[in-house]
Amino acid sequence: MKTNIGLLLAKRAAITPGREAFVEFERQRRFTFASLNARCNRVASALLERGIRPGDRVATLLRNGVEFVETYFAVAKIGAVMVPVNWRLVGAEIAFILSDSGSSALVFDADFDPVASALHGGEHGALPVASWIRCGDGPCPGWAGDYDALQAAGSSGEPPVGAWDQDNLFIMYTSGTTGHPKGAVHSHEGMLWSQLTSMSTSDMRSDDRFMLPLPMFHVGCLNPVSLLVHRGATGIILRDLEMGALFRCIAQERVSIFMSVPALLQFMLTAPEREHSDLSSVRWIATGAAPVPVSLLNDYAALGIRIFQAYGLTESCGPGTLLLPEDAETRVGSCGRTATESILRARPFFGPLRRCP
């Protein structure tokens, strides 16, 4: 069976067209899988019209939002390669990534008009970017295409599939400890297996509502974005990580799962907003970046929430090892077991495994 990550959305739209796919909490924009797929196809059509072809790099400088999701799946469908850029970087650092990756297009958020203008104007040297596409409100500069206008003019029909299996899907830059950032290259097949690993070791259900508070340019959030479409669950997008919005989002959208880091888990318990917030819908939380202290595990257990710990790498397209909830207290400080071992030990979620006679 051939794999194209973009086609997972097309298949999901055919299976559950009316199910809610993603919600932008702050702007209260809601998209079904059918409407999201049609919008992605229009973006794909617009990219093809602007000369983007299979193998071309399409960089993004976007905050969390449906535009990020649409660009990701649109790029995947036509066989181009997405380059998510960390918007916390300064102009010279972004210019290096655009140049090193050979990006021929940049889709950027209106929040980053100043840095995009500087990049376009050559303040950081000559760049390979030929096509500039701007998302957001306000006047669009003459040198950039308007995302909404381009999408509105595109075709909602399925574009020709431009990549399969081991063809490149995205390049994510990781700084390491010395020198310039290094681009970790991932394929369609690699993302599929990462998703299957996550689904095999966690209790994700098709009716789950998964909050996305972490930056989508990071593999720890890009992986769930892709996984949600595969599983048919709903993603609740937070544009900015602000405690008041986070607690309101959990309560109003009845969030059942979300991705976090230990520092955020601690902040949530001590935040003033916590006292009047309803967390009863949350079933479990996935966390990474650092070990979770036993005291924190116990605090969340008292709330009826399990903590699922993952150790991941940009280079591994997500989880590399997993510390399941039942091992957390006896293996404090451990990064857990390999994904294969964790699949075999995921009994609380799937019941006992039986050997064939």
Domain identity same for 132 and 198: no
Domain boundary among the residues 186, 214, 229 is at 186
Domain identity same for 200 and 292: yes
Domain identity same for 177 and 221: no
Domain identity same for 217 and 333: yes
pLDDT surpasses 70 at 98: yes
Which residues, other chains included, contact 112 with Cβ-Cβ below 8 Å and sequence gap of 6+? 61, 87
**What number of H helices and E strands is found in the chain?**
13, 16
Domain identity same for 56 and 194: no
Domain identity same for 176 and 264: no
pLDDT tens digits, 169-222: 999 998 766 788 999 999 999 999 888 888 877 788 999 999 999 999 998 889
Domain boundary among the residues 186, 217, 240 is at 186
CATH code, domain with 51: 3.40.50.12780
Give the pLDDT score at 328.
59
Is residue 354 a part of any domain in this protein?
no
CA–CA separation, 301 vs 273, rounded Å? 20
Domain identity same for 145 and 244: no
Is residue 25 a part of any domain in this protein?
no
pTM of the model: 0.92
How much of the chain exceeds pLDDT 90, in percent?
69
Give the pLDDT score at 298.
87
Is residue 249 a part of any domain in this protein?
yes
pLDDT tens digits, 298-322: 899 899 998 888 777 788 777 777 7
Do 83 and 104 form a contact (C-beta atoms < 8 A)? no
Maximum Cα interatomic distance, the chain, rounded to a whole number of Å: 70
Domain identity same for 237 and 339: yes
Domain identity same for 149 and 210: no
Give the pLDDT score at 357.
34
Section 69-93 average pLDDT: 97
How high does pLDDT run on average in the chain? 89
- Count up the domains in the chain and report the number: 2
Amino acid residing at 173: Y
Question: What are the b/e assignments for 18-32, b being 16+ CB within 10 Å?
Answer: ebbbbbbbeeeeebb
Burial class (CB in 10 A: 0-12, 13-18, 19+), 128: middle
Q: Which domain holds residue 79?
A: 33-186
pLDDT surpasses 80 at 348: no
Give the pLDDT score at 139.
92
Give the pLDDT score at 310.
78
Which residues, other chains included, contact 122 with Cβ-Cβ below 8 Å and sequence gap of 6+? none
